[in-house]
Structure 1
C-alpha cells in the first residue's frame, strides 16, 4: 500500500548525484512480472536495486532474472521465505475485507487501510498524524484493486533462500527492530545467507522504518551505495579475461 513517496527520504538525499527509478508494485499480481517491468525500465548496464517490504520480494526476483547486471542489493523490512499457509489465509481475509469495502466506495477502503496502521508503525508513532496521513494517502493512491494484486503476488511468490548465497554483490538488510509484519528474525536470516552484507536493526521503528526513522535508514543506504561504488570501481580495474 505504498507509492514512490516511501523512498522520498533516500531520493531527497541523493538528488542530483544518482539516477533513481521507483518501480510500482501494485500493477501486477505476480512478483516475476513486477520484476520484469522494473528491469525493463532500467538503462543499459549495471544498476543497484533496493526493495521495501513487497518491493523486497521484487528486488530479489530482479536478482534472479538479471543477476549479471545487479551491482548491489538493498532489502528493507522484508523476507526471503515464501508465505506459510496461515499467512496466506490472513492475506485472503484482508482481500475479503478490502473487497467488501470496495462496494462502499473509496472512503470505506481508506478506513480498512487505516485499520492496518497499528501493525505498521512503532507504538510511539501512533499519534504522528503526518505519518499516518501519508500512509492513508499512499494506500488510497494504490486503491483496493492495487492492494489485492499486491496480496496475490505476495501469496504466490517463491522462496528465495536458495538464491541469496549466489548474490555476491554488496548488500544491506535493514529492518525496524519492532517490525510486526516482517519480524527482525527474517532480516537476520537473509543477512546470514548473503555473502557480503551489513545488517541494520533500526531502533524505535516498526515496519515503516524508512519513514519512522529516516535518518538512520538513509545513513545505512548511503553506506551501502558507497560500498557498491567501491566494488564497481574495483571490478572496472580488473583486466579482461583471456
Structure 2
C-alpha cells in the first residue's frame, strides 16, 4: 500500500500543469498528485477552495510556483490541520504594492484592448515576458521559450486577466507563515527578477521549519531552467513531509488523541 502523502501542485502566471512536469515525471507512481489550475478565478481564495476540494480526504502537501505560491498559502489558511507540508517556489508573502497593481492594471488593459486585437496583443505580451522571467543564458533556448509561450496560449487572454486580478487582490500572508508548523521548502532562482531572492529569504525566516534553496543560473522559471536542482530539493522535501506524517500518525495512535485543530 502507498503511504506517501498526497500532493497538490499549483501553477503560476500563464502556466498550465506542464510547469510541474520535471517533478511529476520524477515521482510518477509514488503518490497521488493533483495539479490544480490557477486561471479559472479572479480571486486567490476561490482558486484555493477549488484546489482543496479536488484533494482526497485527509492530510496532503501543497506546493505552488509564483502565483501558485500565493494560492498555496491561501490553501494553508483554509485547510488548516490538513496541511502536511508546504512548498513555495519563486513567490512571496507580501501583498502587491500600489505600483505593482498599476503595472498589472496596464497589462490587463492591453489584453482587453479593442475587439479583434486582444489575441495578438496577448501573444506579444507573452513573448515579451521571456527576457524578464528566464536567466540570460537561456534566452536562446527555443524549447524552453516555446513551452512558455504554449502554456501562456493555453491559459489564454481571459485566464491571464483573471490571474492578474487575483494577484492584485491577494492578502499579505506574513502573519500566516509563523503558524505553518510543517516541513516547508522555499526555492528561488538566484537571478529571479519577478520575485527576488530577498522575498524567499523573508518567507524562510518566518516559517518554523523551512529549508531555503537558492538555484544558481536561474531566473523566475527555476523549475524549468534548472530542473535537476529544483526536483532534488522537492524530492528531499517530500521525504521530510512523509517522515513527519508517519511520526505524527504514530504519536497520535499511541496517545489516542484526535487530530490537531487548524493553525489559523
Q: Aligning the two structures, in what range does the TM-score lie when normalised by the shorter sequence?
A: over 0.9
Residue aligning to 1:151: 164
Residue aligning to 1:189: 202
> What is the distance in 2 between the residues matched to 1:192 and 1:103?
47
Which consecutive residues of structure 1, in runs of 5 or more, have no partner in the other structure? none
Deviation at 1:93, TM superposition (A): 1.2
Deviation at 1:101, TM superposition (A): 7.3
User: What is the 5 A alignment of 1:1-242?
Assistant: 1-100=14-113, 103-104=116-117, 106-238=119-251, 239-241=255-257
> What is the distance in 1 between the residues matched to 2:30 and 2:70?
26
SS at 1:199's partner residue? Answer: strand
> What is the distance in 2 between the residues matched to 1:219 and 1:230?
17
SS at 2:45's partner residue? Answer: helix
> What is the distance in 1 between the residues matched to 2:40 and 2:210?
30
Deviation at 1:108, TM superposition (A): 3.8
Deviation at 1:97, TM superposition (A): 1.7
Aligned length: 242
Deviation at 1:107, TM superposition (A): 4.1
Checking the alignment, whether the CA contact within 8 Å between 1:102 and 1:144 is kept in structure 2 is no
> What is the distance in 1 between the residues matched to 2:115 and 2:19?
24
SS at 2:145's partner residue? Answer: helix
Q: 1:101 to 1:144 in 2, by over 3 A?
A: farther
Which consecutive residues of structure 2, in runs of 5 or more, have no partner in the other structure? 1-13, 259-264
TM-score by length of 1: 0.98
Deviation at 1:104, TM superposition (A): 2.0
Deviation per residue, 1:96-147 (Å, 9 max, x gap): 1222277325344212210111111001000000000000000000000000
Q: CA RMSD in A?
A: 1.2
SS at 1:18's partner residue? Answer: coil
